[in-house]
Each structure stands twice: as structure tokens, then as C-alpha cells.
Amino acid sequence: MYLKSIEVQGFKSFAHKIKFDFHNGITGIVGPNGSGKSNVADAVRWVLGEQRVKQLRGGTMQDVIFSGTENRKPLSYASVAITLDNSDHQLSIDFQEVTVTRKLYRSGESEYLINGSACRLKDVNELFYDTGIGKEGYSIIGQGQIDRILSGKPEERRELFDEAAGIVKFKRRKNMSVKKLEEERQNLLRVNDILAELE
Ligand code: ATP
């Protein structure tokens, strides 16, 4: 699996629709200060479902929408789509190529799509569990993140190893099952109470 392209429109400094094509191998993005290099990484973080505006270097989520310049009016929505080559089927979805899209309108409305079909944020998260790509993954190492990992709590570091070992999805499923079991236990208690009252 590898990143084939990123398409952005109205996201941060990218007012026009622009597509970055990547090929197998290493790609470097160079440019003067403030030209938008970090915005490319932010776009990837965002489309993967990042909800923490601080991680996106903004004050509110709407700050990711192009806010205009002297010559260009602000735009009403931001859109980012990443396309991944999935010919090795590392993503458990039956497509050779997977495109994940996120859109946000100034009104606050937002949408996620996987290969053009509307989906929930949860579906995007689940698609990337244990691949290292998700928003909690280690595929994007931001400035200062290495320091945070080294000086972080052991539990936080453990999360990173869990993701690399591919056990996050099992842990989440286990937590959901434990929660359901507890709910059923409560239901059973109620049924027993009712039965006792009837006897
Ligand atoms: P450096 O090399 O200094 O780290 P960089 O190339 O990584 O810089 P970025 O931080 O990606 O640059 O981009 C900063 C630019 O993006 C600034 O000029 C800022 O005005 C612009 N920008 C950020 N958000 C928006 C927005 N919502 N609308 C328009 N422009 C934006």
C-alpha cells in the first residue's frame, strides 16, 4: 500500500483544486517559509479524521477553509481526498485503490466518503486501524512528536506499539463486547427482579 495522490480544494492556503501525485519511493516537498508545505501534511491528517483543531494549527475547525487573500475571496468549503494503492489488500476493503474524502462547509456541515460513497467518521477510523495510517497512527510524525513519545507516559507509548503490532482493532472490539456484556448483565438483573415480583 502506498499513497498515490492527495487532492485539495479550499483547504488552508490551497484555494484552487490541486492534485499531488506520488510514486512509489520517497517524495520531498520543498518551498519557502509559509508556502504551504506543512499544510499538505495537515491535509492528510485532516482527511484521516483529525478532530483536534490544535493538531491542525487552528483555532476552530472552520480555520481549515481557505480564508481569502487580497485578490481572492474566501471559499465556502474545504475538501481533501487521498488515494491509496491497495493492490496488496492491506486495507480490508475489496478495492485495488481506495479514495477517502472529507469535506467541511462553513455552515459546519461535514461529510466523509470512501470511494465516493458517504460514510461515517467511524468507518474511516476502522478502515485504518492497525495500519499505522489512522489519525492516531505513526505515519505522520509532526514536529516535537518524537520528544512527546520519548517523554510521554508508558500507557501512551504502549498505544503506539499496539498500533504497530496490529492489535488495536481487537482491543476495541473487546471493549465493545465487555460493554455489551455489562448491559446484558443489567438487563438480566432487571428480568430477575420482575420475576421475583411476579412470584
Ligand atoms: P514553514 O517552512 O515556515 O514551516 P510552510 O511552508 O510549512 O512554512 P505552512 O505552515 O504550511 O507553510 O503554511 C502557512 C501558510 O498557510 C500561511 O501563509 C497562512 O496564511 C496560510 N494559511 C493557513 N490557513 C489558511 C486559510 N484558512 N486560508 C488561507 N491561507 C491559510
Q: Do both 120 and 181 map to the same domain?
A: no
- pLDDT score recorded for residue 150: 83
pLDDT of residue 102: 98
Q: Is the dihedral of CA 154, 157, 163, 168 positive or negative?
A: positive
Indicate the DSSP class of residue 75: P
124 and 51 share a domain? yes
Q: How many domains does the chain have?
A: 2
Mean pLDDT computed over 108-118: 96
Residue 38 CA to ligand 1 center (angstroms) comes to 7
- Phi first, then psi, for residue 103 (nearest 5°) are -130, 145
Annotated binding site for ATP: 32-39
Q: What is residue 136's predicted lDDT score, i.e. its pLDDT? A: 67
| Count of alpha carbons within 13 angstroms of residue 69, beta-carbon side | 8
pLDDT of residue 35: 93
- Same-domain check for residues 30 and 115: yes
pTM here is: 0.81
Distance CA 75, CA 56 (A): 18
Residue 35 CA to ligand 1 centre (angstroms) = 6
Q: Let me know: does 49 contact 133? Beta carbons within 8 Å.
A: no
> 80 - beta bridge partners?
8, 102
In a domain, 146, yes or no: no
Range of the domain at 28: 2-130
Strands across the sheet containing 117-119:
18-21, 2-9, 77-85, 97-105, 110-114, 117-119
Nearest CA residue ID for atom 21, ligand 1? 13
Question: Quick check: CB of 63 below 6 Å from ligand 1?
Answer: yes
Phi and psi of 80, rounded to 5°?
A: -135, 135
pLDDT at 168: 81
Average pLDDT, the chain: 91
**What is residue 185's predicted lDDT score, i.e. its pLDDT?**
97
Residue 117: its H or E element: strand 117-119
11: pLDDT strictly greater than 90? yes
For 134-189, how does the pLDDT look when each residue is reduced to its tens digit (9 = 90+)?
766 777 887 777 887 788 888 888 887 887 787 888 888 899 999 999 999 999 99
Between the CA of 195 and the centroid of ligand 1 the distance, in Å, is: 66
Q: Quick one: which atom of ligand 1 is closest to the CA of 66?
A: 28
100 assigned to some structural domain: yes
Q: What are the pLDDT digits (tens) for 41-73?
A: 999 999 999 998 888 889 999 999 999 999 999
Ligand 1: residue whose CA is nearest its atom 20: 13
Reduced to 3 states (helix: H, G, I; strand: E, B; else coil), residue 61 is: helix
Atom of ligand 1 nearest to the CA of 64: 27
